[in-house]
Structure 1
Amino acid sequence: MGGGAVKVKASGWTTLADVRARLRRRWENGQYLAAWARGEPFETVEVVLRGPAAGELANRFDEARAWSREWLAAAGRSADFRVPTRTVGGRSIGTNEIPARFVVDGGWDTLWRFLQVTAEVRRFTELRDITAGEGHILSAAGVVEASAMERREVAAPDPHEGTVPGFRGTPATGPGDGSAAVTALVDWVNTHPARVLQHSPEQWARILATTRWLVRERGMGRYLRQVPVPGVDTKFIEAHRALLAELLDLLLPDGAVDQAVPRAQFARRYGFRSQPVYTRFRSLDPTSNRLPGVGELSVRVEDLAAAAPDVGTVFVLENEITYLAFPDVPDAAAVFGGGYGLSGLAAHLWFAGRRVLYWGDLDTHGFAILDRLRAEIPGAKSFLMDRATLLAHTDQWVREPSPTRSSLARLTPDEDELYQDLVSHAYGNAVRLEQERVGFQHLEAVLARLHP
């Protein structure tokens, strides 16, 4: 296309900035670097250019010519990409060659130059070297069992091309003897390059040194506060908890990780001591109180059996004021529940063989907590969570903010029928009767029938 250059912004036609932005997104999500790190051969990168159609040439000829010239000039200035053309036009304006595709086919280094990420690739290589070195320390110290790595699949060897420094060895393991820890760590780094590049070499070295200490000291009765790595404290571990958890799951055998505990409970999951969990309880029978004159105790959960009274009935209560004001009941104690956090407490052996009565808010989540409680105490009964109590307090109903619709398999038929009515809004939109809104006289009357 001949004529003078015209600087225009051709709306809807692909620009070099558009192509660079598209390929940068692939870089940022790790797609290109992961392929390079795993030793995969370079595949030609090609982007189809959206340019003027034949029908647009007549009306926008100057814009089309400027757009075409800009592309061809950019390709002429760069050795990193080519711009093949295609023929468009017809009888009215004749045929013209316009840019059709953007092509990078010169290898990984060419792509890095175009994306302006060569320095980042070099930094990734440095981070991977640090990782391999840490893997050798773990293996030499015998910290990581080979069996922990047997299920990890390692990429097949394939030499890197280009001038960016790479490992001399295999892309999957880097330098060294192919030990289990080196293989596992470097393979993880190769698969997650974007996450690794979020850290400086100094920070990454601290993360790996912390991982080594966690692997070595698990199950030794340590607190995370005792980590001896320079520059690392509990705040550092908390800030990098998700990454550390992933590395520990990678390195440790399944038996060394408590899979029943989520990663969010980091210390418990990996065998470290955590801040103790306390529970509050009151003896509702003065004659059974192990410490006469003491109305309430808060003890570590593991100490519950030693401190709590030996009673036949336990009321688990969700509202603190209701718990504190609960009237005396012969041969009974009250435990402050704590909502969904109750499940860990309910597993305590102290509850075994006792009649457990749960009283929570009369709403969908109250029934969900009851259902969860029965997973650990199958014989637990609900208390004041019935239709009669709900209908006796219509003037005290409030709206439940976010009702649940979960399937609750452990409810009794009567409980499930009421739960379904709450879920389906049979009595109004998201009806809720909070525990503290139940009349005290109603509570006392039910207790009198329970303990005549």
Structure 2
Amino acid sequence: MTAWTRDIDIRKRLEKKWNNGQLLAQCVSPGPFNPLRIPLKHPTAKELTHEFDAARTWIGHLMAHAGKQSFKKFTIEWQESNHRTLGRNQIPRAVIFHTLDQILHYLGKTVAAERYQSLFREITALHPELAELLIERPLDVLAHDTVWPSLLAIVSFIRQTPCPGIYLRQLEIPGVDTKFIETHKAWLTRLLIQVLPGSAVNEQARGASAFERRFGFLSKPARIRFRTLDPDFTIMGLSDMEIPEHDFCHLPIMPDTIFIVENDINGLAFPRFPRALVIFGLGYGLSALSNAHWMQDKPIWYWGDMDTHGFAMLDQIRHYFPQTRSFLMDYATLLSHRALWGRETSPATRDLPLLTPDEARVYDTLRHNLHAPMVRLEQEQISFSQVRSVVKAIQTNG
């Protein structure tokens, strides 16, 4: 079937405008509608000779879709063809939609467009500042059709009570619970940024997981797991604890040395060390330590997996505590355990400016696959006798 026998091109062009929100935005935008002309693929002179019946059917198809005079979906722009055999014929050259209503009717989107306009009026009556966002993302407006009352109730509450300093669970809004907010965090973030003053938005907190911090709610505090490594250096006789980060910032005892390891079992089995503690299991959550200002003048030793992410975490902790030194993350340790190398699934590749030259050499070896693809040496692969030996050397030499 030839390309000009259907109205596929017309529909595709219009659906593209619908899917990018352009048509809906025009429903509420000021200014006149400019008629939309869509050129048509039409039969050539040769095709008219050999497929005249198909061409006539195509023309009839277009005329039927154009609608009746009482409500035209579109008008047809004709051009005259003077064929030596067939004589003079009128061939459709383009279709023209003179109004937005014609396009919506043709696509079967009239009801959706009316609903969007209704929502636009209702929402902007309460929050005029949202008009730009609603025009920019009209399909999102429709996608949230059934939940707008709850969304607007949340926006109104936070607008009236910026940075409320409570947990989301404590919101007393009918029909709104924590799960609802979790489900709609991304869209709520867009709405709140439009209506709140800059002083009520923490721009340093980004992403759906930072919603609470961004808009002044309380969030579940990170918890820090640690062990004291000296039986004579405990907290009320307790040596193994997991406490909120705020409490960790105010420990009743001050260790002389701090070790940080990734793996939980390594933290539990870590060798004894005078007046020291070991922190473990934080992964990339090392920022939980950033407000423990008492750590700033303490010796800190970091031991992570010898893979690109282990070095990325080492670089991260140095943002907060530049004095941090690493152990068992050197080139000799990597090469001596070649038989135990595993593979990373998604290596880090960014530059890590806070690594020492020796650490950067190992990191570059890993991220550039200089020995093997995606090398990973996990902490568990290093013998515990070697761990004890290195920790003893740290105790002796500092």
TM-score, with structure 2 as normaliser: 0.92
1:273-312 residue pairs with structure 2 within 5 A? 273-292=218-237, 294-307=238-251, 309-312=253-256
Q: For 1:70, which of 54, 61, 73 is the aligned residue?
A: 61
- Structure 2 residue aligned with 1:13: 4
1:20-419 residue pairs with structure 2 within 5 A? 20-75=11-66, 77=68, 79-88=72-81, 90-91=83-84, 93-105=86-98, 107-135=99-127, 182=128, 184-200=129-145, 203-264=147-208, 265-292=210-237, 294-307=238-251, 309-419=253-363
Q: Assess if the C-alpha contact under 8 Å between 2:167 and 2:219 holds in 1.
A: yes
Q: Assess if the C-alpha contact under 8 Å between 1:313 and 1:333 holds in 2.
A: yes
Matches of 1:314 and 1:392 in 2, distance apart?
27
Q: Assess if the C-alpha contact under 8 Å between 2:245 and 2:288 holds in 1.
A: no
- Unpaired runs of 5+ residues, structure 2, are none
Matches of 2:62 and 2:272 in 1, distance apart?
87
Q: What's the secondary structure of 2:74's corresponding residue? A: coil
Q: Higher mean Cα deviation, 321-330 or 76-85?
A: 76-85
Shift of the 396–221 alpha-carbon distance from structure 1 to 2, 3 Å rule, reads: same
Q: Assess if the C-alpha contact under 8 Å between 1:299 and 1:307 holds in 2.
A: no
- Counterpart amino acid of residue 104 in structure 2: W
Matches of 1:383 and 1:309 in 2, distance apart?
25
- Offset from partner CA, 1:202-252 (integer Å, 9 cap, x none): 521211111111233333321111222221111111111111111111112
Q: Higher mean Cα deviation, 396-405 or 68-77?
A: 68-77
Shift of the 11–341 alpha-carbon distance from structure 1 to 2, 3 Å rule, reads: farther
RMSD: 2.0
> Deviation at 1:97?
2.4
- Unpaired runs of 5+ residues, structure 1, are 1-9, 136-181
Matches of 1:377 and 1:56 in 2, distance apart?
78
- Offset from partner CA, 1:116-173 (integer Å, 9 cap, x none): 32322322232123213423xxxxxxxxxxxxxxxxxxxxxxxxxxxxxxxxxxxxxx
Shift of the 52–355 alpha-carbon distance from structure 1 to 2, 3 Å rule, reads: same
- Counterpart amino acid of residue 12 in structure 1: A
- Counterpart amino acid of residue 119 in structure 2: L
Alignment length, in residue pairs?
393
- Structure 1 residue aligned with 2:379: 435
Matches of 1:443 and 1:360 in 2, distance apart?
12
Q: What's the secondary structure of 2:346's corresponding residue? A: coil
- Structure 2 residue aligned with 1:159: none
Q: What's the secondary structure of 1:369's corresponding residue? A: helix
> Deviation at 1:24?
2.7
Q: What's the secondary structure of 1:442's corresponding residue? A: helix
Matches of 1:102 and 1:259 in 2, distance apart?
49
Matches of 1:433 and 1:253 in 2, distance apart?
49
> Deviation at 1:432?
0.8
Matches of 2:220 and 2:169 in 1, distance apart?
11
Matches of 1:41 and 1:213 in 2, distance apart?
37
- Counterpart amino acid of residue 67 in structure 1: W
Shift of the 218–437 alpha-carbon distance from structure 1 to 2, 3 Å rule, reads: farther
Percent identity over paired residues: 38
Q: What's the secondary structure of 2:235's corresponding residue? A: coil
Q: Assess if the C-alpha contact under 8 Å between 2:5 and 2:54 holds in 1.
A: no
Q: Assess if the C-alpha contact under 8 Å between 1:363 and 1:419 holds in 2.
A: yes
- Counterpart amino acid of residue 325 in structure 1: A
Q: Assess if the C-alpha contact under 8 Å between 2:76 and 2:93 holds in 1.
A: yes
Q: Assess if the C-alpha contact under 8 Å between 1:89 and 1:96 holds in 2.
A: yes
